[in-house]
Copies of this chain bind each other. A is one copy, B any other.
Amino acid sequence: MDQSEAREWLATALAEARAGLGEGGIPIGAALYGADGTLLGRGHNRRVQDGDPSMHAETAAFRAAGRQRSYRGTTMVTTLSPCWYCSGLVRQFGISRVVIGEAVTFRGGQDWLAGHGVEIVLLDDPECVDLMRAFIEHHPDLWNEDIGD
């Protein structure tokens, strides 16, 4: 895909991550885009805000998009490499592509997804890295809780 489009979509996920941080939450954001580039849903991690451990950013964006008959051609954009839970979401529902802000602070199931035909676009975005580095440094317990460590 076009790198400028990928970065534009990442900006939506980053805005979600920043909003989550502003609410005292874990700064991970995501957005689901349709095959035609329409924004279907966006969201951020809500573990702290809602006391809801299931609301990882990707699940929040998927949920916000509501019921869809097919995910063929859709793109999940996330500020952080998707964990097994969110990788499973992508595989089960046949989401075609994942745009990842960074996989430095956490490397999830991206290789597994690539092996199952999902297109992976890794952007190595420094702001995504900085957000997670600072958060993990200040709130290691919350971060470990969020990934079940």
Seen from chain A, the residues whose Cβ lies within 8 Å of a Cβ on chain B are 47, 51-54, 59, 62-63, 65-71, 83-89, 91-94, 109, 145, 147-148
Contacts and interface: CB of A to CB of B under 8 A. Distances in A.
Given A88-B86, A92-B84, A148-B94, A62 B53 contact: yes
Nearest to A88: B88
Nearest to A52: B63
B67 A145 contact: yes
- Cβ-closest 8 pairs across A and B: A88-B88, A93-B148, A84-B92, A84-B88, A54-B63, A85-B92, A85-B88, A84-B91
Count of chain copies: 2
A66 B62 CA distance: 20
Given A85-B89, A86-B88, A148-B92, A62 B54 contact: yes
Nearest to A108: B92
Nearest to A145: B69
